[in-house]
Amino acid sequence: MARIHNGRKGKSGSKKPHNQDLPEWSLKDTKKIKSLVLELSEKGHSTAVIGTILRDQHAVPDVRKACGMRINQILSEKGKAAEIPEDLMNLLQKVLSLVDHLDSNRKDLHNSRQLELTEAKIRRLVRYYKNKGILSSDWKYERKQVRLMVA
């Protein structure tokens, strides 16, 4: 499948193994894993960073296989989920850095094009999240308001 914003063919990424079993060396206590997730979330870590910390420091290769639910589902069950999804927040931070760069480098056409492409990704993602009911129907992306949303 081709990538959306370049003329090259897509490249398949790494895939997780198909086996459903956790290795014998892994942590399998669901209560402890859930408490670790909540503790790391209170420290301000994102879900991706929480998964990496659990994998590297606490011997949990896959939270979904160990607990039966994703990290975001664990957080939303406890009422600690973010109101803006993490992938959308990452794109908003990218827009913010591009806008700051373009303020001081107005003739940088490559990055102004990148800003347009990133905003197109945001609009598509917002439409998806509105259809799924994750974002409210009156949520709207505006370049002027990005700094307030990210901060």
Task: Please tell me whether the overall predicted TM-score, pTM, comes out greater than 0.75 for this model.
Answer: yes
Secondary structure, 3-state, 15-50: CCCCCCCCCCCCCCCHHHHHHHHHHHHHCCCCHHHH
- Domain-ending residue, one of 77, 103, 137: 77
CA 103 to chain centre: 27
Are residue 92 and residue 138 in the same domain, yes or no? yes
DSSP 123: H
pLDDT recorded at residue 1: 52
Are residue 90 and residue 68 in the same domain, yes or no? no
Model confidence over 27-66: pLDDT tens digits?
A: 889 999 999 999 999 999 999 999 999 999 999 999 999 9
Ranges in the chain, pLDDT < 50:
none
pLDDT recorded at residue 2: 66
Going by C-alpha positions, the residue among 147, 143, 127, 146 that lies closest to residue 135 is 127
Q: Which domain holds residue 62?
A: 30-77
Q: Look at residue 101 and tell me if it is in a domain.
A: yes
CA distance 55 to 3: 29
How many folded domains does the chain comprise? 2
Are residue 121 and residue 96 in the same domain, yes or no? yes
Q: Look at residue 108 and tell me if it is in a domain.
A: yes
Are residue 73 and residue 121 in the same domain, yes or no? no
